[in-house]
Structure 1
């Protein structure tokens, strides 16, 4: 008999939760009721880690085990699962009666969120890595969280997949730090690919015979230079002013590195 999409989803959630349990020393779960030959619809979730509790106005203290039930109703996964917190907890987004607020997921549930991902969200809440004091379910806890200096958040540093993180850290420790290789400048290390140099942009050489800067106040149409005379013994040319205006107080300016005199 072909299974319905919901039944297939329930089986997928069970496998995901079993995989999470194998990767975590924090999470454990059980099925409190009969399964009737199909995947479970109700789970009892346990978190073995540090959270906070407060009894009847007493001091806030650490609690090391937390329990809640997750019920996958008939409208799941289109609708959010029903959550009920069973153990004492002091958190801005979990009420004293056990109601749990998941923020935007409460009003806009995303069906693609699997059960293992939901449990990860809940663990982040337990250890105070995720909390919202602006829209609280427990106003007293929200006011306390704003001003408290007793605890450093998160109160538990472990991610929910702590076994995966531990294995990765152990592998890095066994491998050790990579040996440092001293390399001569400009020479690649052994077994190291040579570095391809960046392309060099060659600028044109600066001219040493730079022309004299143009005076912005000279006329745009200057007369052409007269041809060189054989009897010119000093190699000096004088520019004749083509206008009829009299040149008063003419000043001779010697252009650098040229044999031309300008009359200003």
Structure 2
């Protein structure tokens, strides 16, 4: 199966049975460049937020992971100021058995459960470790500034 066929099938699967709190589709007619939307998980500081992500598939997908980054600013220790996401399945733990749908669900899970052992934003990580309530307030404030429509 070619990369284009695989991407087409995965986008069709998402359209037919969207993963909770997520949607995705191509930018124009170029299936290698997509956008996704994630709704902030209930009970998290990101609740009520709608976050846009850019998805760029490599030509040898699914043998290499897609590059996924947040376009909407977000205050999260595992997401840097450029929207890059520190998630092992988007790097050295990638497997061709993973799908875009599964990856989006794992990104939502990361919003609910940040990983202080692998931060991209040290300031946010320190705030989380020293005062989790303050971290959550800052994340909530950013959510309302940038992600509530």
Does 2:116 match 1:133? yes
Alpha-carbon spacing, 1:7–1:31, altered in 2? closer, same or farther (3 Å): closer
The 5-angstrom pairing of residues 101-250 of structure 1 reads 101-103=86-88, 105-126=90-111, 128-129=112-113, 131-146=114-129, 147-149=131-133, 151=136
Structure 2: 5+ residue stretches without partners: 141-149
* CA offset digits 1:57-95 (Å, max 9, x no partner): xxxxx6611111111111211111011211011111110
8 Å Cα contact 1:32/1:42 also seen in 2: yes
How many residue pairs match? The answer is: 134
8 Å Cα contact 1:30/1:45 also seen in 2: yes
RMSD: 2.5
8 Å Cα contact 1:20/1:116 also seen in 2: no
Structure 1: 5+ residue stretches without partners: 54-61, 156-264
- If each structure's helix is expressed as a fraction of its own residues, which one has the higher value? 2
Does 2:8 match 1:11? yes
Partner of 1:243: none
Q: Runs of at least 4 residues of structure 1 off by over 4 A?
A: 50-53
Partner of 2:39: 48
Distance 1:148 1:115 in 2: 31
Structure-2-length-normalised TM-score:
0.76
Alpha-carbon spacing, 1:85–1:17, altered in 2? closer, same or farther (3 Å): same
Distance 1:123 1:69 in 2: 15
Alpha-carbon spacing, 1:9–1:31, altered in 2? closer, same or farther (3 Å): closer
